[in-house]
Amino acid sequence: MDNIVPEQARTALDAADRARRQVAEEVGLPRGYWWAMAAGWILLGVLGNVLPPWLAGVATVGFGVGHGVLAPRLLDGRRRTDRLQVSAAVAGRRTPLVVVGMLLGLIGVTVLVALALDADGAGHAGIWAAVLTAAVIGFGGPEMLRVLRRWARA
Amino acid sequence: MTKAQFDELIHPSTRLSLVATLAAADWAEFAFLKDRLQLSDSALSKQLTTLEEAGYVATERRLSGSRRKVRARLTSAGRDAFNGHIEALRAIVADAAAPAQEPPA
């Protein structure tokens, strides 16, 4: 230990920190999860348009329950790939909250877009709003989560 | 609190990066470690064997489809050694940053 100068120690600490950050970047949800979510979003938009309101409500609750069953295993973001499992300490306890907050935000966006389209006189406003949100989720879900995690320091 | 303990086995840069990666994960597959650390199969195997012999790393072979995959994880002894080593490095840096003490008159 005597022959380690502070500069070497600092370099070693940087290397260890870099390795940790590389693992932290692996936090997220599997790609298939986002596409399944997008498909579910469109399905709900269609059902909301063709079904009676009470039945559309049941479908929405079913979607929520299905998500609730699947989510506990995935929302902590530690199993994005099958190549490693990020430790709980690195994934952070706030990641599930960020995912839930993001989904609630997307629901809000869907409702607002549907209302705007409806006010503009568009037909099937709910479906178009759902398709728009689904595209955002499918194509940009992982990136959005990454940015939100950075903002929330999760 | 982790006791600062410099570890000669962990300190070489490749091994430090490997142990730091494993310390941030519950487990990691050989292929992931190889990609991240940019090592050849034989170089990574050699490092893992060294750490395994010291009791710092445990590996397991799993059958995935028709392929055999190797997973590595840090043992609790390895985690303690890594944490102690990081503390020792921090102490070296902190000592260097501390203002020099005035010799007694």
- For residue range A36-46, list pLDDT tens digits in order: 889 988 988 88
> CB of A85 within 8 Å of any CB in chain B?
yes
pLDDT tier for residue A92 given thresholds of 50, 70 and 90: confident
pLDDT tier for residue B100 given thresholds of 50, 70 and 90: low
CB of A35 within 8 A of CB of B36? no
Return all residues near A148 (Cβ < 8 A) that are at least 6 apart: A98, A101, A102, A154
Is pTM beyond 0.90? Reply is no
Point out the residue among B20, B26, B36 whose CB comes nearest to the CB of A16.
Answer: B20
Dihedral through CA A7, CA A12, CA A18, CA A22, nearest 10?
170
Phi-psi region of B74 (alpha: psi -120 to 50; beta: other; left: phi over 0): beta
B25/A90 CB distance under 8 A: yes
Q: What is the mean pLDDT of residues A134-144?
A: 91
A12/B25 CB distance under 8 A: no
Partners of A9 on chain B (C-beta within 8 Å) are: 89-90, 92-93, 96
Q: What is the mean pLDDT of residues B42-61?
A: 96
* pLDDT for res B84: 96
Chosen from B14, B17, B30, B95 to mutate, greatest number of chain A CBs within 10 A: B17
Q: What is the mean pLDDT of residues A32-55?
A: 86
Q: Which residue has the tokens 């499918």?
A: A138
Point out the residue among A19, A82, A88 whose CB comes nearest to the CB of B17.
Answer: A19
pLDDT tier for residue A93 given thresholds of 50, 70 and 90: confident
Instruction: State how far the Cα of A8 lies from the Cα of A10, in Å rounded to an integer.
Output: 5
**What pLDDT digit, counting tens, does each position of B20-41 carry?**
999 999 999 999 999 999 999 9
Q: What is the mean pLDDT of residues A73-91?
A: 84
Q: How many helices (H) and strands (E) in chain B?
A: 4, 3
Mean of all residue pLDDT scores within chain B: 91
* pLDDT for res A87: 92
Sign for the CA dihedral angle at A150, A41, A78, B40 comes to negative
Point out the residue among B23, B32, B90 whose CB comes nearest to the CB of A84.
Answer: B32
Asked if the model's pLDDT at residue B8 lies above 80, the reply is yes
* pLDDT for res B103: 58
* pLDDT for res A31: 87
- How close B104 comes to chain A (CA, Å)? 25
Q: What is the ipTM of this complex?
A: 0.85
Mean of all residue pLDDT scores within chain A: 85
Neighbours of A124 (CB within 10 A): 17
- How close B48 comes to chain A (CA, Å)? 16
CA B10 to chain centre: 6
DSSP state of B70: E
Partners of B74 on chain A (C-beta within 8 Å) are: none
Instruction: State how far the Cα of B74 lies from the Cα of B36, in Å rounded to an integer.
Output: 17
Asked if the model's pLDDT at residue B95 lies above 80, the reply is yes
The residue of chain A with its CA nearest to that of B74 is: A87
